[in-house]
Amino acid sequence: MDSRLPAEAPIYLSALVPVYNEEDTIAAIVERLEQAPLVRQIIVVDDCSTDATPARVRALAAAGRVEAFFHERNRGKGAALRSALRLAREAYLVIQDADLEYDPQDFRRMVAVIERTGAEVVYGSRFMGGPRTGMLWTHYLGNRGLTLLFNLLYGQRLTDMETCYKLFRTTLLERLGIDNDRFDIDPELTAKVIRAGRHIHEVPVSYAGRPYLAGKKIKPHDALSAVRTLWRYRTWRPPA
């Protein structure tokens, strides 16, 4: 058992927030995380934003609302999460994008799975019947196709590999590590969990997508990179 989680202790979360050019939403997502009672640590990593995001993150940090880390050059979401992971203190952590597409109140449902089953990994699925609006048809097809490919390669029955909401026991993610710097982290981490012999639990979460004009950053070519990543990690083995 994780030494940071005594038997029957309440489960609290470190929220890892990678951010790039989100000056209009960073304060709002921090406020939403503050209102989620299970979140006890908010870690924001600014990935060398070119707008007013760094200044707003510094103001949040100065007010004691977040712990902040700043990259000197743009390195990608995976690199930002790797930096955030080094600061995580709670027994469990969850990934939270800064674009307001996901609702931190859904953490309750995800943590309930841990309390009920002792799970080490819980994903919030956008395709299990929760409220979903604004998802581009290209993203819908891409997400479904990549998840199907993952299931075929790894013998699983997952519904949403590409979800942002991934909740891990902190020591497990530290052991698995984060290799990829950019959006390849979703197939990388999902593949690693299965190759490490762990089960991924899923629960429905809500989703309110935004268009490219509003700042959405993942692009169609990222799907091709995800396919290569899934193939590359099919023989990966966890460190001893």
- Domain ranges (residues) in the chain: 13-233
Structural contact between residues 156 and 150, judged by C-beta atoms closer than 8 angstroms: yes
Give the global pTM: 0.91
Q: Does domain 13-233 have CATH number 3.90.550.10?
A: yes
At 112-138, the pLDDT tens digits run 999 999 999 999 999 999 889 888 888
Q: What Cα–Cα distance (Å) separates residue 230 from each residue in 138, 148, 156, 218?
A: 20, 11, 13, 17
At 187-205, the pLDDT tens digits run 999 999 999 999 999 999 9
At position 212, the amino acid (one-letter code) is: Y
Q: Where are the alpha helices (DSSP H) in 63-159?
A: 77-85, 107-117, 137-154
Q: Would the CA dihedral through 171, 174, 175, 178 be positive or negative?
A: positive
The stretches in the chain having pLDDT less than 70 are 1-8, 212-221
Lookup: tokens for 176: 């698995």
Token look-up 């699925």 returns 125
Local structure of residue 102 (DSSP, 8 states): S
Separation of alpha carbons 77 and 69, rounded Å: 13
Q: Cβ-count burial of 129 within 10 angstroms (0-12 exposed, 13-18 middle, 19+ buried)?
A: exposed
Separation of alpha carbons 51 and 63, rounded Å: 20
